[in-house]
Amino acid sequence: MSKQELVVLGQDADDFCRPGLSAAPLGEDRAGELARVFKALGDPVRLRLLSLIASRQGGEVCVCELTPAFEVSQPTISHHLKLLRQAGLIDGERRGTWVYYRVLPEALEGLAAVLRPRAAEAEA
């Protein structure tokens, strides 16, 4: 996958310094970038995949364990994983036959910070 395809939310230290959507009106570029990530989360199978990976003790899940958990085909699961990866929410590493996925916690933390309402921001 090319670097251009990736949303690198949370991989840039600046992301953590940017105000959330309750602090000031989002600009068009930033809104487009964030919308891509939220769109990746806007599907029940992708959310369950992300949750299976994010909740795993040890932090890594083999794709061979993910596919049997769903009643959809392996190519469909691969497609959903690709979209989560392009959104910068997970990363994967091939080792031998299988790809092992892990969540990028800084991306989840960055998105959570974007959503935080004004009252919560003031308390932080």
Among candidates 74, 77, 84, which has minimal Cα distance to 108?
Answer: 84
Q: Does 123 bind its own copies (CB under 8 A)?
A: no
Q: Which stretch binds its own copies (CB under 8 A): 1-9, 30-38, 77-85, 90-98?
A: 30-38
H/E element, 113 = helix 105-115
- Where would I find the beta strands (DSSP E) of 10-115? 61-62, 90-95, 98-103
Residues 83-112 that bind its own copies (CB under 8 A): 103, 105, 108-109, 111-112
Least CB distance to its own copies at residue 124 (A): 11
* Binding string, residues 40-79; x marks residues near its own copies by CB under 8 A: xxxxxxxxx-xxx-xx------------------------
- Cβ closest to its own copies, residue 42 vs residue 93: 42
Instruction: Compute the distance between CA of residue 21 and CA of residue 73 in angstroms, rounded to an integer.
Output: 37
Q: What is the DSSP letter of 66?
A: H
Q: Does 113 bind its own copies (CB under 8 A)?
A: yes
Q: What is the DSSP letter of 101?
A: E
End-to-end CA distance of the chain: 37
Which positions lie near its own copies, rule CB under 8 A?
Answer: 21-26, 28, 31-32, 34-36, 38-48, 50-52, 54-55, 103, 105, 108-109, 111-113, 115-120
